[in-house]
Amino acid sequence: MPEFNYVGWLAKDVAAAIYGYSNAKIVAGPHVYGGMSMPVEMIVDEVIGGLTGKKSIAVPDSAIMGRDVNQAEVAHFMQNI
């Protein structure tokens, strides 16, 4: 499973691209420790949602960590993957 920390994953590339072209202070990107990973479908949903401001219906909110679980939504999701 790919790492969910796409911001941290891109931080080094972005810092390298702007280094020397700006007087701005470059701050290290976020880090995720402990091998945090998520299913590809959830990662794609989060990336597209972040870029477009729209959330896909492919992943029910209850399947996203930190939310209350709605068993009916999870069951429907699991039957359709």
Q: Are the beta carbons of 4 and 49 closer than 8 angstroms?
A: no
If DSSP codes are grouped into helix, strand and coil, which group holds residue 52?
Answer: helix
pLDDT category at 1 given cuts 50, 70, 90 is very low
Q: Are the beta carbons of 45 and 77 closer than 8 angstroms?
A: no
Which range has the worst mean pLDDT, 7-16, 17-26, 44-53, 65-74? 65-74
pLDDT of residue 72: 80
76: left (phi over 0), alpha (psi -120 to 50) or beta: alpha
Tally DSSP H helices, then E strands, for the chain.
Answer: 3, 0
